[in-house]
């Protein structure tokens, strides 16, 4: 829909998606851009903080901003989201405090937020597990009769995010089957960022991934994942369909992991430089900026965004450095809902062990 030159056009055969864009106004566009810029700045700052020893690990979303912000805004206020571990962009469209993501990567918080309140569920590090969780949840929504009532305050859909690599897990196939046979209100959102750590997508699939659901009865579509408007429209439409009882669908967003897999990875060992250049020329922010400028948005706005980024970076640094270690008991707190003798024993041991250290300068 959006060309690299920022020209927006909806081909006639996709008019049903175009309708979703027509409903947006300039403020929505600016919001999209602001959030993409915000998440990119956040990402860069966190990468630096990891390199400075402030986090054990950082997982960059760099390059995937459009796929995440666009689809995040396509998710409705009753819907539930089941992310993997890279969906910082989706997170901010639903009010997740960015600092809570840092806390996870710093190892001072296990989960980060309360999914019951945010509807954005916890990050899943074990690949593809969230896809099954989402399927189960969506089946539950069906059981509760919260689909296709026609009442927008009642109807719910579920969306789950996963990578191209995760599709090779049996979990995704199982989920597709369950979702299809139960007609679950679920959207499978696959960000195909071309790489699963060092494995190229060509080692995960021969057929384009959006066709993966076909055999299970889950229709799929492919979308330019670096086009924030397209990602928004496609997500919004398919979430509507799911909410209206039309069953599951699969979206494949073609994008690119511009950064390393995580800060522990060095992609120069397996990725040719020209591939990176190809995708950088299709940068989602650059493209959307061109679009906005064509709409008459001027330097003022982009300067304001840059300034907000600087403030954000400073705030993130200050708050990260100020983070305290949580009490030890947090590790054990949510293992069981009721007290458990084995957990209590482990906790006592750890407390004893920790007490055997002394703080301060060695003599």
Query: Binders of other proteins among 230-249, rule CB under 8 A?
Result: 230, 233-234
Between 27 and 354, name the residue whose CB sits nearer to other proteins: 354
Residue 17 to residues 74, 229, 236, 241, Cα–Cα distance (Å): 12, 10, 9, 12
Look up residue 347 and give its two tokens.
């906790």
How far apart CA 138 and CA 154 sit, in angstroms, is 14
In the three-class reduction of DSSP (H, G, I as helix; E, B as strand; rest coil), residue 262 is classed as coil
The 10 Å Cβ neighbour count of residue 56 is 12
Question: Phi and psi (nearest 5°) for 163?
Answer: -95, 175
- Catalytic pick among 38, 133, 257, 282: 257
Between 63 and 247, name the residue whose CB sits nearer to ligand TPP: 63
Task: Give the one entry of ligand TPP, other proteins, none that residue 324 binds, where binding means its C-beta sits below a cut-off of 5 to 8 angstroms depending on kind.
Answer: other proteins
Question: Phi and psi (nearest 5°) for 9?
Answer: -155, 135
- Catalytic pick among 51, 110, 270, 294: 270
Would you give the end-to-end CA distance of the chain in angstroms? 67
Of the candidates 114, 181, 268, 315, which one interacts with other proteins according to CB under 8 A? Answer: 268
Do the Cβ atoms of 333 and 346 come closer than 8 Å? no
Between 27 and 207, name the residue whose CB sits nearer to other proteins: 207
> Among 20-28, 113-121, 190-198, 317-325, which window interacts with ligand TPP (CB under 6 A)?
190-198
- Catalytic pick among 38, 121, 212, 261: 261
The 10 Å Cβ neighbour count of residue 197 is 14
Look up residue 309 and give its two tokens.
């980024």
Between 110 and 340, name the residue whose CB sits nearer to other proteins: 110
Tell me the per-residue interface mask from 118 to 157 with other proteins, x by CB under 8 A, - otherwise. Answer: ----------------------------------------
Between 265 and 319, name the residue whose CB sits nearer to ligand TPP: 265
Q: Indicate the helix (H) or strand (E) that contains 195.
A: strand 195-196
Between 65 and 289, name the residue whose CB sits nearer to ligand TPP: 65
How far apart CA 200 and CA 190 sit, in angstroms, is 15
Of the candidates 40, 80, 86, 121, which one interacts with ligand TPP according to CB under 6 A? Answer: 86
Question: Does residue 107 belong to the site contacting other proteins (CB under 8 A)?
Answer: yes
- State the DSSP code for 128: T
Task: Give the one entry of ligand TPP, other proteins, none that residue 126 binds, where binding means its C-beta sits below a cut-off of 5 to 8 angstroms depending on kind.
Answer: ligand TPP
How far apart CA 135 and CA 133 sit, in angstroms, is 5
Residue 157 to residues 179, 210, 223, 249, 317, Cα–Cα distance (Å): 12, 20, 20, 11, 36
Query: Binders of other proteins among 275-334, rule CB under 8 A?
Result: 275, 278-279, 282, 317-318, 320-325
| 261 classed as catalytic | yes
Q: Nearest distance from residue 306's CB to other proteins, in Å?
A: 15
> Among 26-34, 112-120, 173-181, 268-276, which window interacts with other proteins (CB under 8 A)?
268-276
> Among 188-196, 283-291, 292-300, 326-334, which window interacts with ligand TPP (CB under 6 A)?
188-196
Task: Give the one entry of other proteins, ligand TPP, none that residue 51 binds, where binding means its C-beta sits below a cut-off of 5 to 8 angstroms depending on kind.
Answer: other proteins
Between 1 and 91, name the residue whose CB sits nearer to ligand TPP: 91
Q: What is the DSSP string of 54-76?
A: S-S-----TT-HHHHHHHHHTS-
> Among 25-33, 176-184, 341-349, 351-359, which window interacts with other proteins (CB under 8 A)?
351-359
| 257 classed as catalytic | yes
Q: Which residues contact 242 (CB under 8 A, 6 or more apart)?
A: 138, 147, 157, 158, 185, 186, 187, 248, 249
How far apart CA 35 and CA 312 sit, in angstroms, is 12
Of the candidates 15, 125, 328, 348, which one interacts with ligand TPP according to CB under 6 A? Answer: 125
Mind telling me the catalytic residues? 257, 261, 270
Binding site for ligand TPP (CB under 6 A): 86, 125-127, 163-166, 193, 195-197, 257, 261
């Amino acid at each position: 829909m959006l060309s690299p030159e920022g020209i927006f056009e909806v081909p006639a055969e996709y008019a049903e998606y175009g309708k979703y864009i027509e409903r947006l106004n300039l403020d929505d566009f600016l919001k999209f851009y602001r959030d993409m810029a915000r998440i990119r700045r956040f990402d860069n700052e966190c990468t630096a903080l990891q390199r400075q020893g402030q986090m054990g690990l950082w997982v960059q979303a760099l390059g995937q901003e459009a796929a995440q912000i666009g689809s995040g805004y396509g998710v409705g206020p009753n819907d539930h989201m089941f992310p993997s571990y890279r969906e910082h962009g989706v997170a901010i469209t639903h009010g997740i405090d960015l600092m809570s993501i840092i806390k996870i990567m710093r190892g001072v918080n296990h989960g980060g937020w309360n999914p019951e309140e945010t509807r954005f569920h916890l990050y899943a590090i074990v690949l593809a597990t969230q896809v099954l969780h989402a399927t189960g949840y969506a089946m539950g929504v069906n059981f509760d009769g919260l689909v296709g009532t026609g009442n927008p305050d009642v109807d719910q859909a579920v969306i789950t995010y996963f990578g191209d690599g995760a599709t090779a897990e049996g979990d995704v196939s199982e989920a597709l089957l369950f979702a299809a046979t139960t007609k679950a209100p679920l959207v499978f959102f696959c960000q195909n960022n071309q790489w699963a750590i060092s494995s190229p997508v060509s080692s995960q699939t021969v057929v384009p991934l959006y066709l993966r659901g076909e055999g299970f009865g889950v229709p799929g579509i492919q979308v330019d994942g670096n086009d924030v408007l397209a990602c928004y429209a496609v997500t919004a439409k398919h979430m509507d369909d799911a909410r209206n009882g039309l069953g599951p669908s699969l979206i494949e967003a073609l994008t690119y992991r511009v950064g390393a897999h995580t800060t522990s990875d060095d992609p120069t060992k397996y990725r040719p430089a020209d591939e990176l250049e190809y995708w950088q020329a299709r940068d989602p922010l650059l493209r959307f900026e061109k679009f906005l400028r064509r709409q008459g948005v001027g330097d003022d706005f982009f300067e304001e965004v840059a300034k907000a980024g600087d403030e954000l970076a400073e705030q993130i640094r200050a708050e990260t450095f100020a983070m305290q270690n949580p009490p030890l008991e947090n590790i054990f707190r949510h293992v069981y809902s009721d007290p458990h003798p084995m957990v209590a024993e482990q906790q006592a041991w750890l407390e004893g062990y920790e007490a055997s250290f002394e703080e301060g300068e060695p003599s």
